[in-house]
Amino acid sequence: MDLPTFDLTKSSCEEQVASARPDLVIHAAAYTDVDGAEHQPDLAMAVNAQGTEWVARGTTRAKARLIYISTDYVFDGLKKTPYLESDLANPLNQYGKSKLEGERRALDLCHDSLVVRTSWLYGAHGKNFVKTMMRLAIEQPELRVVVDQRGCPTNAADLAQSLAKMLTLDIRGIVHATGTGDCTWYELASAIVSAMGRQNPVHPITTAEAGRRAARPSYSVLANCVLKQSGITLPPWQYSLIRFVGEHGHDSQFKSSNAELDSIVTIDGAP
Protein backbone atom coordinates (compact mmCIF):
# COMPACT_ATOMS: atom_id res chain seq x y z
CA MET A 1 0.00 0.00 0.00
CA ASP A 2 1.24 3.48 -0.83
CA LEU A 3 1.43 5.69 2.24
CA PRO A 4 0.36 9.31 2.57
CA THR A 5 2.91 12.05 3.09
CA PHE A 6 3.52 12.67 6.77
CA ASP A 7 4.51 15.97 8.33
CA LEU A 8 5.81 15.18 11.77
CA THR A 9 5.18 18.73 12.96
CA LYS A 10 1.42 18.17 12.51
CA SER A 11 -0.79 16.40 15.04
CA SER A 12 -2.67 14.82 12.10
CA CYS A 13 0.22 12.32 11.98
CA GLU A 14 -1.43 10.39 14.80
CA GLU A 15 -4.60 9.82 12.79
CA GLN A 16 -2.63 9.08 9.61
CA VAL A 17 -0.66 6.35 11.36
CA ALA A 18 -3.70 4.91 13.15
CA SER A 19 -5.89 4.86 10.05
CA ALA A 20 -3.21 3.14 7.94
CA ARG A 21 -3.77 0.15 10.31
CA PRO A 22 -0.12 -0.95 10.30
CA ASP A 23 1.20 -4.04 12.06
CA LEU A 24 4.57 -2.38 12.46
CA VAL A 25 5.87 1.17 12.28
CA ILE A 26 9.60 1.77 11.76
CA HIS A 27 10.00 5.44 12.61
CA ALA A 28 13.26 6.62 11.02
CA ALA A 29 12.26 10.12 9.87
CA ALA A 30 13.92 12.90 11.82
CA TYR A 31 15.38 16.37 11.83
CA THR A 32 19.01 15.27 11.37
CA ASP A 33 20.93 18.51 10.77
CA VAL A 34 23.15 18.41 13.86
CA ASP A 35 24.54 21.92 13.42
CA GLY A 36 21.22 23.32 12.21
CA ALA A 37 19.54 22.09 15.39
CA GLU A 38 21.66 24.54 17.40
CA HIS A 39 19.92 27.36 15.47
CA GLN A 40 16.54 25.64 15.41
CA PRO A 41 16.17 23.73 18.69
CA ASP A 42 12.40 24.19 18.70
CA LEU A 43 12.03 22.69 15.23
CA ALA A 44 14.35 19.78 16.12
CA MET A 45 12.24 19.13 19.24
CA ALA A 46 8.98 19.48 17.27
CA VAL A 47 10.05 16.89 14.70
CA ASN A 48 12.07 14.47 16.82
CA ALA A 49 10.15 14.56 20.12
CA GLN A 50 6.62 15.85 19.46
CA GLY A 51 6.54 14.15 16.03
CA THR A 52 7.56 10.88 17.64
CA GLU A 53 4.77 11.35 20.16
CA TRP A 54 2.18 11.58 17.36
CA VAL A 55 3.64 8.49 15.71
CA ALA A 56 3.70 6.57 19.01
CA ARG A 57 0.09 7.50 19.81
CA GLY A 58 -1.04 6.46 16.32
CA THR A 59 0.88 3.20 16.61
CA THR A 60 -0.73 2.44 19.95
CA ARG A 61 -4.20 3.10 18.55
CA ALA A 62 -3.43 0.69 15.70
CA LYS A 63 -2.23 -1.88 18.29
CA ALA A 64 0.95 -2.10 16.27
CA ARG A 65 4.61 -2.45 17.12
CA LEU A 66 6.92 0.60 17.02
CA ILE A 67 10.62 0.74 16.22
CA TYR A 68 12.16 4.16 16.80
CA ILE A 69 15.57 4.74 15.24
CA SER A 70 17.81 6.72 17.58
CA THR A 71 21.42 7.78 17.80
CA ASP A 72 24.77 7.51 19.57
CA TYR A 73 24.55 11.30 20.03
CA VAL A 74 22.37 10.76 23.12
CA PHE A 75 25.71 10.16 24.93
CA ASP A 76 28.25 12.76 26.02
CA GLY A 77 31.31 10.76 24.96
CA LEU A 78 33.07 10.99 28.32
CA LYS A 79 33.28 7.20 28.72
CA LYS A 80 36.39 5.37 27.59
CA THR A 81 34.69 2.02 27.01
CA PRO A 82 31.73 1.21 24.76
CA TYR A 83 28.35 2.56 25.88
CA LEU A 84 25.88 -0.02 27.17
CA GLU A 85 22.13 0.24 26.68
CA SER A 86 21.83 0.85 30.43
CA ASP A 87 24.31 3.77 30.51
CA LEU A 88 22.97 7.19 31.36
CA ALA A 89 22.28 9.37 28.32
CA ASN A 90 23.53 12.94 28.46
CA PRO A 91 23.45 14.58 25.04
CA LEU A 92 25.85 17.40 24.24
CA ASN A 93 23.80 19.05 21.50
CA GLN A 94 20.23 19.99 20.60
CA TYR A 95 19.90 17.19 18.06
CA GLY A 96 20.86 14.60 20.70
CA LYS A 97 18.48 16.16 23.24
CA SER A 98 15.58 16.04 20.80
CA LYS A 99 16.30 12.42 19.83
CA LEU A 100 16.54 11.40 23.50
CA GLU A 101 13.18 13.04 24.17
CA GLY A 102 11.84 11.11 21.16
CA GLU A 103 13.08 7.89 22.76
CA ARG A 104 11.27 8.71 25.99
CA ARG A 105 8.00 9.44 24.24
CA ALA A 106 8.20 6.29 22.10
CA LEU A 107 8.79 4.16 25.21
CA ASP A 108 6.19 5.96 27.35
CA LEU A 109 3.38 6.14 24.81
CA CYS A 110 3.64 2.81 23.01
CA HIS A 111 3.91 -0.27 25.20
CA ASP A 112 5.17 -2.36 22.27
CA SER A 113 8.10 -0.14 21.35
CA LEU A 114 11.75 -0.73 20.65
CA VAL A 115 14.35 2.03 20.53
CA VAL A 116 17.24 1.13 18.24
CA ARG A 117 20.29 3.34 18.64
CA THR A 118 22.66 3.26 15.72
CA SER A 119 25.58 5.42 14.56
CA TRP A 120 27.61 6.74 11.63
CA LEU A 121 25.05 5.41 9.14
CA TYR A 122 25.73 5.18 5.44
CA GLY A 123 23.98 3.66 2.46
CA ALA A 124 23.26 4.16 -1.22
CA HIS A 125 20.60 6.83 -0.64
CA GLY A 126 20.80 10.34 0.76
CA LYS A 127 23.84 12.26 1.91
CA ASN A 128 26.36 10.51 4.10
CA PHE A 129 30.04 10.57 4.98
CA VAL A 130 31.04 7.49 2.97
CA LYS A 131 29.42 8.73 -0.25
CA THR A 132 30.91 12.17 0.24
CA MET A 133 34.40 10.76 0.76
CA MET A 134 34.08 8.52 -2.30
CA ARG A 135 33.25 11.58 -4.38
CA LEU A 136 35.89 13.82 -2.84
CA ALA A 137 38.59 11.18 -3.28
CA ILE A 138 37.98 11.63 -7.00
CA GLU A 139 37.57 15.40 -6.97
CA GLN A 140 40.26 16.49 -4.54
CA PRO A 141 43.93 15.52 -4.36
CA GLU A 142 44.03 15.49 -0.53
CA LEU A 143 41.49 15.14 2.27
CA ARG A 144 41.39 16.63 5.80
CA VAL A 145 39.37 14.61 8.27
CA VAL A 146 38.63 14.74 12.01
CA VAL A 147 40.73 12.36 14.07
CA ASP A 148 39.47 12.92 17.62
CA GLN A 149 35.97 11.46 17.36
CA ARG A 150 35.53 7.70 17.60
CA GLY A 151 32.43 5.72 16.73
CA CYS A 152 31.01 2.74 14.84
CA PRO A 153 30.32 3.02 11.11
CA THR A 154 27.07 1.23 10.26
CA ASN A 155 25.90 0.13 6.84
CA ALA A 156 22.16 0.83 6.49
CA ALA A 157 21.59 -2.53 4.76
CA ASP A 158 23.22 -4.34 7.70
CA LEU A 159 21.04 -2.37 10.11
CA ALA A 160 17.93 -3.27 8.10
CA GLN A 161 18.83 -6.96 8.23
CA SER A 162 19.37 -6.77 11.98
CA LEU A 163 15.96 -5.06 12.39
CA ALA A 164 14.35 -7.94 10.52
CA LYS A 165 16.01 -10.38 12.94
CA MET A 166 14.96 -8.29 15.96
CA LEU A 167 11.37 -8.49 14.77
CA THR A 168 11.43 -12.26 15.00
CA LEU A 169 12.41 -11.97 18.67
CA ASP A 170 10.50 -10.46 21.53
CA ILE A 171 12.85 -7.55 22.18
CA ARG A 172 11.52 -4.35 23.75
CA GLY A 173 13.15 -1.33 25.35
CA ILE A 174 16.49 0.00 24.11
CA VAL A 175 19.03 -1.79 21.92
CA HIS A 176 22.30 -0.67 20.36
CA ALA A 177 22.80 -1.78 16.75
CA THR A 178 26.00 -0.72 15.01
CA GLY A 179 28.62 -2.20 12.75
CA THR A 180 31.14 -4.30 14.70
CA GLY A 181 34.36 -2.52 15.67
CA ASP A 182 35.13 1.19 15.86
CA CYS A 183 37.32 3.86 14.31
CA THR A 184 37.78 7.61 13.95
CA TRP A 185 36.41 9.63 11.01
CA TYR A 186 40.02 9.90 9.85
CA GLU A 187 40.47 6.11 9.91
CA LEU A 188 37.15 5.67 8.12
CA ALA A 189 38.15 8.14 5.38
CA SER A 190 41.52 6.39 4.99
CA ALA A 191 39.76 3.02 4.65
CA ILE A 192 37.42 4.44 1.99
CA VAL A 193 40.31 5.81 -0.05
CA SER A 194 42.15 2.51 0.26
CA ALA A 195 39.06 0.46 -0.70
CA MET A 196 38.79 2.62 -3.82
CA GLY A 197 42.39 1.73 -4.68
CA ARG A 198 43.39 5.40 -4.57
CA GLN A 199 46.40 7.14 -3.08
CA ASN A 200 44.96 10.48 -1.86
CA PRO A 201 46.81 11.57 1.28
CA VAL A 202 44.37 11.89 4.21
CA HIS A 203 45.40 14.46 6.83
CA PRO A 204 44.11 14.26 10.42
CA ILE A 205 42.62 17.43 11.91
CA THR A 206 41.04 18.10 15.29
CA THR A 207 37.38 18.79 16.05
CA ALA A 208 38.42 22.28 17.14
CA GLU A 209 40.05 22.86 13.74
CA ALA A 210 36.88 21.66 12.04
CA GLY A 211 34.98 24.44 13.84
CA ARG A 212 31.50 22.96 13.79
CA ARG A 213 28.66 24.72 15.61
CA ALA A 214 27.33 21.73 17.56
CA ALA A 215 29.44 19.86 20.09
CA ARG A 216 29.88 16.18 19.28
CA PRO A 217 30.84 13.29 21.56
CA SER A 218 34.52 12.43 21.15
CA TYR A 219 33.72 8.79 21.94
CA SER A 220 30.35 7.33 21.00
CA VAL A 221 31.18 3.67 20.51
CA LEU A 222 28.09 1.58 21.32
CA ALA A 223 28.23 -1.95 22.73
CA ASN A 224 25.53 -4.09 21.11
CA CYS A 225 24.96 -5.99 24.36
CA VAL A 226 21.26 -6.81 23.97
CA LEU A 227 21.72 -7.95 20.38
CA LYS A 228 24.68 -10.10 21.33
CA GLN A 229 22.58 -11.80 24.04
CA SER A 230 19.95 -12.44 21.36
CA GLY A 231 22.49 -13.96 18.97
CA ILE A 232 22.38 -11.04 16.51
CA THR A 233 25.63 -9.55 15.22
CA LEU A 234 26.33 -6.97 12.54
CA PRO A 235 29.38 -7.47 10.28
CA PRO A 236 32.72 -5.80 11.04
CA TRP A 237 32.60 -2.24 9.69
CA GLN A 238 35.66 -2.82 7.45
CA TYR A 239 33.97 -5.76 5.74
CA SER A 240 30.74 -3.85 5.02
CA LEU A 241 32.64 -0.79 3.87
CA ILE A 242 34.73 -2.72 1.33
CA ARG A 243 31.58 -4.43 0.06
CA PHE A 244 29.79 -1.09 -0.24
CA VAL A 245 32.65 0.60 -2.11
CA GLY A 246 32.89 -2.43 -4.41
CA GLU A 247 29.16 -2.31 -5.14
CA HIS A 248 28.85 1.45 -5.59
CA GLY A 249 32.29 2.67 -6.69
CA HIS A 250 31.10 2.92 -10.28
CA ASP A 251 27.77 4.64 -9.59
CA SER A 252 27.58 8.01 -11.34
CA GLN A 253 26.12 9.65 -8.23
CA PHE A 254 29.35 8.97 -6.35
CA LYS A 255 31.49 10.31 -9.15
CA SER A 256 29.68 13.32 -10.49
CA SER A 257 31.01 16.69 -9.53
CA ASN A 258 28.56 18.40 -7.19
CA ALA A 259 28.69 22.18 -7.03
CA GLU A 260 26.68 22.15 -3.82
CA LEU A 261 29.32 20.15 -2.02
CA ASP A 262 30.02 21.80 1.26
CA SER A 263 33.69 21.45 2.14
CA ILE A 264 32.67 21.20 5.76
CA VAL A 265 31.21 17.73 5.14
CA THR A 266 34.69 16.60 4.28
CA ILE A 267 35.73 16.67 7.88
CA ASP A 268 33.26 14.71 9.90
CA GLY A 269 29.99 12.90 9.58
CA ALA A 270 26.32 13.44 10.05
CA PRO A 271 24.45 12.33 13.19
Ligand X SMILES: NC(=O)c1ccc[n+]([C@@H]2O[C@H](COP(=O)([O-])OP(=O)(O)OC[C@H]3O[C@@H](n4cnc5c(N)ncnc54)[C@H](OP(=O)(O)O)[C@@H]3O)[C@@H](O)[C@H]2O)c1
CA dist 212 and 26 (Å) reads 31
Distance spanning both ends of the chain, measured CA to CA: 30
CA dist 120 and 248 (Å) reads 18
CA dist 227 and 84 (Å) reads 11
- The reply to whether 68 belongs to the active site is no
Which is closer to ligand X, CB of 63 or CB of 164?
164
Q: H-helix or E-strand containing 109?
A: helix 94-109
Q: Smallest distance from the beta carbon of 55 to ligand X, in angstroms?
A: 10
Burial of residue 125, with CB atoms counted within 10 A of its CB: 0-12 exposed, 13-18 middle, 19 or more buried: exposed
CA-to-CA dists, residue 237 to 79, 130, 154, 193, angstroms:
21, 12, 7, 15
Distance, CA of 199 to chain centre: 29
Which is closer to ligand X, CB of 71 or CB of 238?
71
Q: Smallest distance from the beta carbon of 141 to ligand X, in angstroms?
A: 27
How does DSSP classify residue 125? S
Q: Smallest distance from the beta carbon of 172 to ligand X, in angstroms?
A: 19
Count of residues for the chain? 271
Return residues touching ligand X (CB under 6 A): 6-9, 28-32, 47, 69, 71, 99, 118-121, 126, 269-271
The three-point CA angle 90-92-97 to 5° equals 70
Which is closer to ligand X, CB of 147 or CB of 270?
270
Which is closer to ligand X, CB of 151 or CB of 235?
151
Which is closer to ligand X, CB of 67 or CB of 205?
67
Catalytic position from the list 83, 95, 186, 219: 95
CA-to-CA dists, residue 224 to 81, 106, 119, 264, angstroms:
12, 20, 12, 30
Point out the residues that are catalytic. 95
